[in-house]
A and B are shown apart, each in its own frame.
Chain A
Amino acid sequence: MESPHSCWQCSSLVVANESAMGVAGSFPENAPVATLWVTGLGCPLCAHNIDQQLKELPGVRAVRVDLGNGKVTAALADSNPPTKDQLARAIVASGFTLTNIQMPESMSTVLCGLCSCESCQCAKSDSRCQPACSCRV
């Protein structure tokens, strides 16, 4: 995925945002969240495989696993978050079955809000901004 940082304004805002929220560890409540539905989790130690694989992806800040319903929540970075495909591959690599994945709808809005898309410069560098900003690129 291309970085949306070709716009200097966007870049500085995102960096500031990340340092304010800190690194992965506690679950950042305001971060964009991807929700993955997984089966075959088995047990707490088994489910740790998911945690390990997802956290290796650039742009994944924290992971929360609910063994009760198979819901895996990944807090994503505002800048350069992983793609749906990358998240899906990480689940498969961790040895479980992915049944559904829901990417954060707010992602494009957040990016475009940060990037001041009037100029369409950010939209050019990140296709997720295109529908949200109605930019013609």
Chain B
Amino acid sequence: MCQIRFPLPACLLLSGLGAAVNSSHSYGQAPINQDAATQPSPGHATLIEQFRFYSLDLDAGRRDARGQTRDAILLSRLDYGLTKDLSLSLRTPVVFRRRSYDLGDRVERDQGVGDVTALVKWRFYQDDAGPVNTTRISLLGGSEIRTGDAPFTNDAYNPLIGLALTRVSGRHGLNANVQWTFTTAGVPSEGQISPGMSTADVFRYNGAYLYRLAPVEYSADTAGAWYAMLEANGVYETNGDNELLLSPGLMYEATRWALELSLQVPVWRDLDNRPETEYVLVAGLRFSW
């Protein structure tokens, strides 16, 4: 538990290192709930602080495990540019959990630091077709690093690989991102709350469309831009669990910071082990320096 192994200030400090595994976000006309093929320039960094509120419902499996879970997660992510095509990303979630059980009106509260994700992003394709237009593809590789802070860790070092594509064409932006996590350890699936907490491998599949609301045309006086976006965020586990969320979002992006808001709602699911997502609220800030 975070309050036992790490005092709260240490939790918050740790959270300054990165963001959550299951909510990788980026910066710069990048979607809120997935990785994009963008990165800071060499010697510079981007910090993304995100508050995520999860409402989850488990009504399958053991009767004494059924109930509702509310997770308030402070996710931090620090991206650092190593070269023009290579960047390093550290992501850490600090989780505050409230779990109520259907049987016996029991309520449990818990807090802790989830596994840290260290990720290297290598951009291997870039085609800049116009002043704003670009297509970029990046390869992602890294590992989840155990914090040992149960139940927010699966207590293992889990390698992961992925691919991210970002395309900007005028006012339109397209993103696609897939990521596979090879789970090397874990607890039995029954009773898990988040994807990746069991022994199953995790496959995340994401897509996003962004539309620049304003300004209609960029100019030398442009100080920021508003974007509306629609994301599809899927999580499949090799134990058969699969859930797809639809995530409308709004983002304001200035030259050194950005503000983002998103709501995730389920549109399709086939879950036998982990709880069903009722909704997820997301609010975040991105800083570049």
Q: Jot down 28 A-B pairs with beta carbons below 8 A, ordered by A.
A: A39-B128, A40-B130, A41-B134, A43-B168, A44-B224, A44-B253, A44-B254, A45-B29, A45-B256, A46-B29, A46-B38, A47-B255, A49-B40, A49-B44, A51-B255, A52-B41, A64-B220, A66-B222, A67-B219, A68-B217, A68-B219, A68-B220, A68-B222, A70-B131, A70-B132, A71-B220, A92-B84, A94-B41
Instruction: Say whether, besides A39-B133, A70-B131, A45 and B27 are in contact (CB < 8 Å).
Output: yes
Interface residues on A, range: 20 to 34
Q: Which of A46, A52, A64 has its CB near the most chain B CB atoms (within 10 A)?
A: A46
Interface residues on B, range: 35 or more
B223 at the interface (CB under 8 A from A): yes
B42 at the interface (CB under 8 A from A): yes
Chain A residues closer than 8 Å to B289, beta-carbon distance: 52
Give Cα A71–Cα B40 distance, bound, in whole angstroms: 20
Residue among B168, B220, B223, B255 making CB contact with A42, cutoff 8 Å: B168
Q: Which of B27, B41, B129, B219 has its CB near the most chain A CB atoms (within 10 A)?
A: B41
Instruction: Say whether, besides A43-B28, A43-B253, A45-B286, A96 and B222 are in contact (CB < 8 Å).
Output: no
B42 adjacent to A44 (CB under 8 Å): no
Residue among A39, A45, A96 making CB contact with B288, cutoff 8 Å: A45
Q: Mark B216-257, 1 if CB is under 8 A from A, else 0.
A: 011110111100000000000000000000000000011111
Which residues, 1 to 58 on A, are CB-close (under 8 Å) to B? 38-49, 51-53, 56
Give Cα A75–Cα B37 distance, bound, in whole angstroms: 31
List the 4 shortest-distance A-B pairs measured between CB atoms, nearest first: A40-B128, A70-B131, A67-B218, A43-B29
Chain B residues closer than 8 Å to A40, beta-carbon distance: 126-130, 132-134
Give Cα A112–Cα B225 distance, bound, in whole angstroms: 43
Chain A residues closer than 8 Å to B181, beta-carbon distance: none
Separation in Å of the A62 CB from the closest CB of chain B?
Answer: 13
Interface residues of B, dominant DSSP: loop
Instruction: Say whether, besides A45-B286, A64-B220, A39 and B129 are in contact (CB < 8 Å).
Output: yes
Chain A residues closer than 8 Å to B256, beta-carbon distance: 45, 48
Give Cα A52–Cα B84 distance, bound, in whole angstroms: 13
Chain B residues closer than 8 Å to A95, beta-carbon distance: 39, 41, 84-85, 123, 126
A45 adjacent to B254 (CB under 8 Å): yes
Chain A residues closer than 8 Å to B44, beta-carbon distance: 49, 52
Give Cα A92–Cα B123 distance, bound, in whole angstroms: 13
Give Cα A45–Cα B218 distance, bound, in whole angstroms: 13
What is the chain B residue whose CB lies nearest that of A40? B128
A93 at the interface (CB under 8 A from B): yes
A86 at the interface (CB under 8 A from B): no
Give Cα A97–Cα B128 distance, bound, in whole angstroms: 6
Separation in Å of the A93 CB from the closest CB of chain B?
Answer: 5
B29 adjacent to A66 (CB under 8 Å): no
B258 at the interface (CB under 8 A from A): yes
Instruction: Say whether, besides A45-B254, A67-B219, A92-B84, A39 and B224 are in contact (CB < 8 Å).
Output: no
What is the chain A residue whose CB lies nearest that of B127? A40
A119 at the interface (CB under 8 A from B): no
Chain B residues closer than 8 Å to A38, beta-carbon distance: 131
Chain B residues closer than 8 Å to A43, beta-carbon distance: 28-29, 132, 168, 225, 253
What is the chain A residue whose CB lies nearest that of B223? A44
Separation in Å of the B148 CB from the closest CB of chain A?
Answer: 36
B129 adjacent to A45 (CB under 8 Å): no
Separation in Å of the B1 CB from the closest CB of chain A?
Answer: 37
Chain A residues closer than 8 Å to B131, beta-carbon distance: 38-39, 41, 67-70
What is the chain B residue whose CB lies nearest that of A66? B220
Give Cα A48–Cα B220 distance, bound, in whole angstroms: 13
